[in-house]
Amino acid sequence: MGREFYEQYSDVRELFDEAARILDMDVADLCFRGPEEVLVETANVQPAITVANLACLTVLKLHEIYPAAAAGHSLGEYSALYAAGVVDLPDLLKLVRWRGAFMQEAAERSPGGMAAIMNLEEEKLEEVCRLCDVEVANLNCPEQIILTGSREPIRQAMAMSSRLGAKKCVELKVSGPWHSRCMQLAKDKFESIVGECAFHAPRIQVVSNIDAKPLEAPEHTAGKLVNQLCGSVLWQQSMEWFLDNGYEHFVEVGPKKVLRGIMRRINRQVEVLNVEDVATLSAFLQANQ
């Protein structure tokens, strides 16, 4: 993650060096060499992905490309807040490191999983959640809802969803039941960390996961980030806010292009690009000449 930009841009190398100092963690080595079993630990992957996101943002700024508005999916919300000027780098990295550590601890105490349910009507999905005792983690797009909860209830929910007509059910390769009540321990501990951080007024519109509304004042940030740990990610609704307010050009900034694919399921009429390496940066710059 971020290796090409690290090798080509001194500003990105400075970012990784500063992150390593703040986190007391060799972020570059973790991102570039892993090993994978260490990288994917929640306590490691959250700061690593965040720094990789910021590397892409840094390169875009070097090309004088700045966001007009921002949003981020779950962990990505922290990068969006940074892009909007709401949080500074030291507090940002402090937040994502402790968020990851507390989520990992909560998952070890209350193990579970998540599943993607494709093309199931809302009322049937509500019945699945009620009868199987699971929760909605992510409302990604009309065809894809992510359920979360303890391992056996998730499997029961997948089986029931299939019987009720879901087109496809996929158990996700995750290490915990994110965005569920199983994260209450993480939420309780994270609240004190959030309370130690400074939040500023957003310089651009930044839409929050928890309510799909723009952040109006810096004092609202802490509560939204804390509640996000156990609450649903309202991604479809967040993207619909942008569409309803006239935004037509979207760029996924950071590793992979999952959100680019989701946006195409929400609205195929808007332009959606992604920037994660030299090739995608080149394609983005050419598309915007």
The distance in angstroms from the start CA to the end CA of the chain is: 26
Residue 40 has what pLDDT? Answer: 82
User: What pTM value is reported for the model?
Assistant: 0.96
Alpha-carbon gap, residue 208 to 74, rounded angstroms: 9
C-alpha pair distances (Å), 250 with each of 16, 99, 162, 211: 26, 27, 33, 20
**Is the per-residue pLDDT at 35 higher than 90?**
no
For residue 36, name the pLDDT band (cuts at 50, 70, 90): confident
Q: Are strands 69-71 and 271-275 parallel, antiparallel or unpaired?
A: unpaired
Whether 64 and 284 have beta carbons less than 8 Å apart is answered as: no
Compute the C-alpha angle 221/106/161, nearest 5°: 90
Amino acid letter at 213? Answer: K
Alpha-carbon gap, residue 126 to 134, rounded angstroms: 10
Stronger pLDDT, 2 or 58, i.e. the higher one: 58
Give all domains of the chain, ordered by start, each with its CATH number. Answer: 3-109+180-287 (3.40.366.10), 113-171 (3.30.70.250)
Residue entry with tokens 């699945």: 128
Residue 197 has what pLDDT? Answer: 98
pLDDT single digits (tens) 226-256? 999 999 999 999 999 999 999 999 999 999 9
Q: Is 200 a catalytic residue?
A: no
pLDDT single digits (tens) 116-172? 999 999 899 999 999 999 999 999 999 999 999 999 999 999 999 999 999 999 999
Residue range 17-38: mean pLDDT, rounded: 91
Residue 268 has what pLDDT? Answer: 93
Residue range 35-51: mean pLDDT, rounded: 89
Lowest mean pLDDT among 36-40, 61-65, 79-83, 87-91: 36-40
For residue 39, name the pLDDT band (cuts at 50, 70, 90): confident
Residue 23 has what pLDDT? Answer: 94
Beta bridge partners of 272: 250
Residue 77 has what pLDDT? Answer: 98
What is the CA 283 to chain-centroid distance, rounded? 24
* Catalytic site residue from 73, 179, 180, 208: 179
Residue 60 has what pLDDT? Answer: 97
pLDDT single digits (tens) 47-86? 999 999 999 999 999 999 999 999 999 999 999 999 999 9
Q: For 205, phi and psi rounded to 5 degrees?
A: -65, 130
Residue 38 has what pLDDT? Answer: 84
Residue 11 has what pLDDT? Answer: 98
Asked if the bond preceding 35 is cis, omega within 30° of 0, the reply is yes
Helix residue ranges, H only, the chain: 3-8, 10-23, 27-33, 36-39, 42-62, 76-83, 89-109, 122-132, 151-163, 184-195, 221-228, 235-244, 258-266, 278-287
For residue 203, name the pLDDT band (cuts at 50, 70, 90): very high
Q: Is 74 a catalytic residue?
A: yes
**Is the per-residue pLDDT at 289 higher than 80?**
no
CB atoms under 10 Å from CB of 287, counted, come to 11
* Catalytic site residue from 74, 162, 175, 220: 74
pLDDT single digits (tens) 173-195? 999 999 999 999 999 999 999 99
